[in-house]
Amino acid sequence: MAKASWQRSLLLAFGLFVAVIAGVLAGIYFSLPVKRFNVHSELVMLGDFSGDRNWDSRDKKALDELLLNPYAYTPAYVNNADVNNNGSLDAEDIEILTVLFESSNPYLALGHATESGQPFPRPREFFRYISKYRYVQRPLYVLPHETMEISPFAFANELKTDLREDSYENQLIMEVYDEALRFSIAYEKRKNDLADIERKYVADKIRKCDELYSKGEFYELLLNLIALVEDAETLTVKGQHPFIGKLLFFRDHLRELLVSDVFERFKTGELSYSHVFMEMDAYLRSDMGIDVSMESLEPPRDLRQIRNYLDRAEWQYYKSSTSDEDFLKLLLYAQHDRRYLRSVSKTTPKHSDLKVENHNLPMILLFRESLRIKDNDKKAAVGMLDEAIRIPFGWVKSIPRQQLPESIALENFLLPGNKEDGYDKSRHWNVFGGVSLYRSPEESLVLALRREIMDAREEGYTAEAMVKFIRDMIANINGIYYVMSLNPDLLQSM
């Protein structure tokens, strides 16, 4: 009897203990602050370039070095100098930082500025929380720079960046100045080591930019400058495989073929598709040293070779191993980066981009950013882009198209090229650029020809099918060339 009473008392005490604990936990949950979502942010101290949580002469020295070549630093680092928060490095930023570095105390600096009648940020405005979900834009550099005095552009000293009116054209002009300076700094570093073919290429592009400036075509000028910057910072013919160097000649011949007399006569029915193929065969021999007959090319994939399965498995690994965080970085770039948005905005009326000229530059920028995210691992960068661009299960014909999920890209950011090309040309660019990493550029080009001609054959070699075939090949060639050639650390390695 006593034992049963003791057990009841123990059980009662245990129940009371559990109730008290539950009450305490409930009180904590409902009365104390609770983190409702997981957002990681970094507190940034503007002007603190040395990272020692002080403003002093070391930061002044770091700022002076940054101003010599702001493009050698990350956007986040350069943003530390944009203390007036207007998206550019301008004279006011330098004035504010100079006063701050001299006093080392934002309250004293504010007092001195107030006494002299100069505007100055409140001390807390030198601190910002930067969320990892925010894209950090590189500020425009709009200060005078000694490199512009020796710039290869004839218009360099005519550009004015102290523009007070906030207009679309003035914004373009400031971006033109920024890109012209960025190229001029890279050009000054590389000009004595350029190969003859590079020297001629650059001279032609500079002449084109001067013409665009003289006509006041600032948007087209900006895109040409961005392309020149990308060439200067990432491409060189030194050490380049001879086959790669010939690819763009073949691409340009394909562009000429699309507007040639032979192709026009084919479209009217005067000539057969065989005459178009004979033109392509001739270009392949003269430009690439490849002797094939387009009409007799075999299907693209030989399922008897184990290597095809191994390559596919490695490709799939890189696609599926991309983290959500990496995708987020790519999305933020494509949604917000000023240079990408300018480049991807170049479109033309439907079906008027016959030569696929609106597509390449934004793809180069996307691939370069993917390389940055993936620590310069090209296979990983290609895998991430393929996963972002593709439409899942597009090959499952039994599922209605409208019920298929869209790609990450189509749901989240503007893809390069005209709208009617959709994701198609971007995937071609990336896929055959990627294949050249697993095989070789030669194998990738021939595989691309086999793949594209198969579609043309299935569609009966109609004029529409042949146009698509050649346009797809232009995108494929661009991808092979730039995936194989692009070196984002070129300037640092020189």
The answer to whether the CB of 362 falls within 8 A of the CB of 482 is no
The answer to whether the CB of 484 falls within 8 A of the CB of 244 is yes
> Is the pLDDT assigned to residue 228 strictly greater than 80?
yes
Band of residue 161 on the pLDDT scale cut at 50, 70, 90: confident
Supply the pLDDT for residue 402. 66
State the burial class of residue 258 (Cβ atoms within 10 Å of its Cβ: 0-12, 13-18, 19+). Answer: middle
Report the chain's mean pLDDT, rounded to a whole number.
Answer: 89
Mean pLDDT (whole number) for 156-185:
90
The answer to whether the CB of 89 falls within 8 A of the CB of 143 is yes
> Is the pLDDT assigned to residue 127 strictly greater than 60?
yes
Supply the pLDDT for residue 117. 87
218-234 and 360-373 helices, crossing angle to 10°:
40
The answer to whether the CB of 418 falls within 8 A of the CB of 358 is yes
Supply the pLDDT for residue 303. 46
Higher pLDDT, 326 or 33: 326
The secondary structure of the chain in percent helix, strand, coil, rounded to multiples of 5, reads 65, 5, 30
> Is the pLDDT assigned to residue 265 strictly greater than 70?
yes
For 74-124, write each residue's pLDDT tens digit: 999 999 999 999 999 999 999 999 999 999 999 999 998 888 888 999 999
Share of the chain above pLDDT 70, in %: 87
For 396-455, write each residue's pLDDT tens digit: 556 666 666 667 888 888 899 998 888 889 999 999 999 999 999 999 999 999 999 999
Please list, residue by residue across 237-254, b when 16 or more beta carbons sit within 10 angstroms of its beta carbon and e when fewer do. eeeeeebbebbeebbebb
Band of residue 465 on the pLDDT scale cut at 50, 70, 90: very high
CA 146/CA 185 separation, integer angstroms? 10
**Residue 424: C-alpha distances to residues 19, 220, 286, 365, 445 (Å):** 63, 25, 29, 18, 17
Least confidently predicted of 134-143, 234-243, 281-290: 234-243
CA 315/CA 313 separation, integer angstroms? 5
CA 270/CA 276 separation, integer angstroms? 12
